[in-house]
Structure 1
């Protein structure tokens, strides 16, 4: 069980026969999988929060950016060839599955099940948070893998080879858990301990946790829009309305005390910049814009382009490249094209986004457009335009509100609400822009669900078919062979999620 030493507090740990008193910070982690008794929810929850933020900021966003055709590789690097060739196998991004179960779910389940033997402390607030975060990550595992271990997962030594549960059943169960988590967050026992700064996401604000749970639930319900379950979706949204918390009203972010030291930077920043010096990591040099995304942003007069991407070192133009392994050398090196921009690579100490306002507002716009939430076209338009403004603001576009209004009032389909005959296409296209570099795994999943953005290219070497899922990792096949579903490489391209 991972435990964590808390900022400005001293944690007493019993190790064999010696007592150790340590004062440190959130980012110093000890691992003791054989002795969970040394931990409590106060120590374990922030570790899970940190690990979830890191996994989503790094591997999941990077993967989403490439499958959504936002990022590419310049001609002077031979890395990332699996993206241009769609080499999706049991080793491809296995960290998503492995980290979810090995660390995130393990710690969150520990918090959910923890009972204070003395009865002196009520940990209901921690349990509401753990349930919300566990639901957040389980949704992604179902979206990306289909059937996964759920009811028998993380039982420690009691069940070391858990069965795989049906994806549809997991989804409904997770939605129920989010309903319960929001209700608990808003109705804590009077003696419940508030985690305060131990909660590195919302600082112990339980209304914010209820809003977060509601917004994750809305995302899942909208995901079900193709499954002919409108009555169920509306009924579940009615439950959200009944708890009264509404949806998130500010970005959901994590910050355990990120600083500029090794292994302690903001995880997205750390992916691209070195500790202390801020010099460019290799990934910062071999990750560049695609020609398609820059052309789209330029032709729609979108000032977010200059925040999402940087001008080329040579010549200062905004230039991208196609996703391919056969680029010519001249004019296509990392110095010749646009890299990830200043609106994304912001600060070593800045908070890490987990769910942002542009996404939350676009989810509401889609739910209204589909008739799941009342309000009609005017309300959907209002949410849509507010989402674009929130995106401009997040990226620190100068005079963000004015710039956003100038942008979305252009007579361009999928930019202006009035000029967009297909409102769902407009919403998902704007999500593709707004979540560029942030929660970008959504972009791949939404492309699978809706088919938008329309006309999104695919790498020529990719075989002509975009993948729709990940494959179970080799490590899981080795340790849980009797339960893991059979798969072939082709399943990554043909085995659509149940909600498709």
Structure 2
């Protein structure tokens, strides 16, 4: 999606203003919208919810995913990220994923869904489609990451400040139903429905694109059920997607309310995570470097994306480090190692990717290979790779991608790959590097691919395996102790998601 050139000042104020809103004690309360909820309308609330949605998924969640699937590491001259390399997954680890999802995303989307225009003059059906799709996306991630979570009783304001926890599998089915209904509503919007236009910082009010996005999120969830013995259900639900006629995403799903370098909080979230407004490096840019495994893998498969996913080291060449708290000083400083690359960190006003076109295509390819839907899996696979080459800015991307994916290498060339699912998931791991690597971690838990990813030295020495979930935060344990599950650190490694 191309960034728009003109944006209303009020839109920018609303969207970026939400980033300064902190968590409150009324965790599940749809509390004050960035302006005033008693008078705020969906028109005002939507861009704020979308901006936080884009920021949380594009920064904290992507960063964590890249660490868990061994894309990124640290240099010897920094002591950062020790919890990642020791796998210290506690009730205080990355709590803003849980808290931010409920406080700043789901509460605002629920406000939109529940809003009633007292005059009856405005039909907000289109906003309902958008809210349902975004909630589906975020609830899917929360279930995949935490398991059972508050759902049916959540977001009810003061009417229920201590909501019950619903079973993960039950939530999945209900979210799938709501995504089905959202896509169907796109085809049945009344002519009087108000279109959000530029207040929708993702699709600019293009409702058919929202329907395709809802379909794609739904397909991702259905494919995730591949190990649960529910093939008949999966096929039935995919048939419903085909029947609504809206298809799947045809471009990167991305937000852009007018990102710029005018102020730090107005930069594109992922870019601003690594650079200041004067383009000088944030500390995170210096202590986040490539892993040796990923550099070696991309090099050994002759993948030109290496030079776009990672930058050349200050001292020359492309190099990474193994994930470890302590590294030797010689050859492992931030000047010796490759940092996050120019294909990912383009400029302060770059679009913030939410779901890439490449991911959507690879989800479809997996569904075809598993027999859930008809289609040309090889064509989808190769188009996905090409799409990623285009996104990164690889020179002459179509030709260069074809040279790459026609190699006789397993998990690269389609014909050379005896295990098609492994090839698809491995290519998704590459395509989501720095974009949505949280999905790569979830796929790794589900499929075991990419195979042979190393473990951090410190975690391995402590006898730990890779985590399969996060733990419910201490803040939630305190305020909702009657319902929040009692967990220990072992649950992060041994309590499998329901779909595994």
**TM-score relative to the length of structure 2:** 0.94
What is the rounded CA distance, in whole Å, between the counterparts of 1:52 and 1:441 in structure 2? 14
- Does structure 2 retain, via aligned residues, the 8 Å contact 1:153–1:162? yes
Deviation at 1:7, TM superposition (A): 4.1
Equivalent in the alignment of 2:27? none
Equivalent in the alignment of 1:419? 416
Deviation at 1:28, TM superposition (A): 3.8
Equivalent in the alignment of 1:456? 453
Deviation at 1:25, TM superposition (A): 6.5
Structure 2 SS opposite 1:133: helix
- Does structure 1 retain, via aligned residues, the 8 Å contact 2:43–2:196? yes
TM-aligned CA distance change 1:188 to 1:493, over 3 Å: same
* 1:485 partnered with 2:481: no
**TM-score relative to the length of structure 1:** 0.94
Equivalent in the alignment of 1:16? none
The count of corresponding residues between Structure 1 and Structure 2 is: 479
1:52-99, Cα deviation, whole Å (9 max, x unpaired) = 000000000000000000000100000101111000001111110000
State how 1:71-110 maps to structure 2 within 5 Å. Answer: 71-110=72-111
* 1:373 partnered with 2:373: yes
The one of 425, 428, 431 equivalent to 1:431 is: 428
Q: Could you say what the CA RMSD is over the residues aligned between the two structures, in angstroms?
A: 1.4
State how 1:120-199 maps to structure 2 within 5 Å. Answer: 120-199=121-200
* 1:113 partnered with 2:107: no
Structure 2 SS opposite 1:360: helix
* 1:319 partnered with 2:319: yes
Structure 2 SS opposite 1:253: strand
Structure 2 SS opposite 1:97: helix
The one of 262, 272, 275 equivalent to 2:274 is: 272
Deviation at 1:24, TM superposition (A): 5.3
What is the rounded CA distance, in whole Å, between the counterparts of 1:295 and 1:90 in structure 2? 34
TM-aligned CA distance change 1:371 to 1:461, over 3 Å: same
What is the rounded CA distance, in whole Å, between the counterparts of 1:10 and 1:437 in structure 2? 31
| Runs of 4+, deviation exceeding 3 Å | 23-26, 28-32
Equivalent in the alignment of 1:202? 203
TM-aligned CA distance change 1:297 to 1:189, over 3 Å: same
TM-aligned CA distance change 1:329 to 1:24, over 3 Å: closer
Q: Which structure 1 residue ranges, 5 or more long, are not aligned?
A: 1-5, 12-22
1:287-346, Cα deviation, whole Å (9 max, x unpaired) = 0000000000001000000000001101x1100000001210011000000000000111
What is the rounded CA distance, in whole Å, between the counterparts of 2:205 and 2:187 in structure 1? 12
What is the rounded CA distance, in whole Å, between the counterparts of 2:384 and 2:47 in structure 1? 29
- Does structure 2 retain, via aligned residues, the 8 Å contact 1:27–1:257? no
- Does structure 2 retain, via aligned residues, the 8 Å contact 1:45–1:111? yes
- Does structure 2 retain, via aligned residues, the 8 Å contact 1:7–1:24? no
Equivalent in the alignment of 1:44? 45
Deviation at 1:417, TM superposition (A): 0.5
The one of 394, 417, 422 equivalent to 2:391 is: 394
Structure 2 SS opposite 1:272: coil
State how 1:239-278 maps to structure 2 within 5 Å. Answer: 239-260=240-261, 261-275=263-277, 277-278=278-279
